[in-house]
């Protein structure tokens, strides 16, 4: 029983290793709870954000299976109310006047016939106006921006037509003297902007900053460098990561991450909200990730000599031209 409990604890520790290993958290502005578009690096849907300071506005009422909103039901005609009540009252009035039950209905029937004709004319005019209005409206399904990969090439969204664009610029050399072999490649600055209004241009310097943040965050996390964490991540993200470190210290374990290497990456989406810019990037990287005992240094989980791979979507935020900061991490 004790052995089983220990195995479960170690399994949980392995699932929580490295930054972001505990799930998806952070904020993506107005798109926090909207899945980022799939890319070549992360073709499957990203895990939804589980922890965020952005309030969730609740379930989408248009989502399949969601309950329909409360709508006032139209009143139904029944005996004793509405139309039947009027007809019945007219019949009684005719009987009281000595004209019989149907005598009172004769005058009412002529009035009802006139109202029915007017109603039919109004209905036909309304239908004709709607029909002509639909024919004059342009058919437009909404713009779809192309998703440029950091390795070169384009991954259009499902069902979207490929957008015209210029050739890709040459790939960037990785950190450490080009050790990554140009895993990130910038967009050609001269390429034509797509029709997406809020798309922002992401260039080689931006991709280099994203790659550098990947390495620096894992290194700061491994060294428990709180000051560095707060300088490269938003306050929200730095707070979440610091909570993880505090939890590790309470359990008496240390998460050592080293030899972080970006293998492949591409841009999922980039947009602007007011004076704030966002960019979500899919990254597949390798790293050595081990969990050690804080007191003895004994390896509890992981292989110090065997790298493992992970694929995640990182969202970066930039305010008024300031440096990019990590604002969300999602598991792919």
Domains contained in the chain, CATH given: 2-51+147-156+163-331 (3.10.450.240)
Written as tens digits, the pLDDT of the chain (332 aa) is: 434 444 444 444 444 467 866 789 999 999 999 999 999 999 999 999 999 999 987 654 334 444 434 434 444 434 344 444 454 455 544 555 555 544 544 555 666 777 777 888 888 888 787 776 766 554 433 334 444 445 444 444 444 433 333 333 333 333 333 333 345 543 333 333 333 445 899 999 999 999 999 999 999 999 999 999 999 999 999 999 999 999 999 999 999 999 999 999 999 999 999 999 999 999 999 999 999 999 999 999 999 999 999 999 999 999 988 999 999 999 98
CA distance 268 to 280: 5
Q: Which residue, among 37, 318, 33, 32, has the nearest Cα to 196 in the 3D structure?
A: 37
pTM of the model: 0.60
In the block, residue with structure tokens 């990456």: 265
Which residue spans within the chain are E strands per DSSP? 25-26, 253-273, 276-293, 299-301, 308-319, 325-331
Helix, strand, coil fractions of the chain, as percent rounded to 5: 35, 20, 45
User: CA–CA distance from 259 to each of 219, 302, 324 (Å)?
Assistant: 9, 14, 23
Q: Could you say which DSSP state residue 155 is in?
A: -
The 10 Å Cβ neighbour count of residue 213 is: 19
CA-to-CA distance for 64 and 80, rounded, in angstroms?
A: 40
For residue 322, count other CB atoms closer than 10 A to its CB. Answer: 10
Structure tokens at 83: 């139309």
């Amino acid at each position: 029983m004790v052995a089983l409990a220990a195995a479960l604890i170690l399994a949980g520790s392995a699932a929580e290793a490295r930054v972001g290993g505990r799930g998806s958290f952070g904020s993506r502005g107005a798109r926090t709870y909207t899945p980022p578009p799939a890319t070549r690096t992360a073709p499957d849907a990203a895990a939804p954000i589980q922890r965020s300071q952005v309030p969730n506005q609740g379930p989408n009422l248009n989502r399949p299976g969601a309950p329909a909103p409360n709508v006032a039901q139209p009143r139904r005609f029944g005996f004793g109310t509405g139309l039947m009540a009027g007809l019945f009252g007219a019949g009684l009035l005719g009987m009281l006047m000595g004209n019989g039950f149907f005598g009172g209905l004769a005058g009412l029937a002529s009035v009802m016939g006139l109202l029915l004709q007017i109603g039919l004319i109004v209905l036909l005019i309304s239908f004709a106006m709607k029909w002509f209005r639909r024919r004059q409206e342009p058919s437009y399904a909404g713009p779809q921006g192309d998703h440029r990969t950091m390795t070169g090439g384009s991954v259009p969204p499902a069902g979207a037509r490929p957008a015209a664009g210029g050739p890709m610029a040459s790939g960037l050399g990785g950190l450490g003297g080009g050790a990554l072999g140009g895993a990130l490649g910038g967009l050609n600055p001269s390429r034509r902007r797509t029709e997406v209004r809020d798309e922002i241009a992401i260039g080689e310097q931006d991709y280099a900053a994203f790659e550098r943040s990947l390495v620096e965050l894992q290194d700061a996390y491994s060294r428990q460098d709180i000051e560095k964490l707060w300088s490269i991540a938003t306050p929200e993200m730095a707070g979440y990561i610091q909570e993880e470190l505090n939890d590790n210290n309470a359990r008496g374990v240390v998460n050592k991450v080293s030899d972080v290497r970006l293998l492949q990456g591409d841009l999922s989406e980039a947009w602007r909200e007011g004076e704030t810019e966002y960019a979500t990037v899919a990254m597949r990287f390798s790293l050595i990730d081990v969990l050690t005992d804080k007191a003895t240094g004994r390896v509890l989980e992981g292989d110090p000599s065997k790298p493992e791979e992970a694929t995640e979507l990182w969202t970066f935020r930039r305010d008024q031209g300031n440096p990019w900061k990590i604002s969300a991490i999602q598991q792919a």
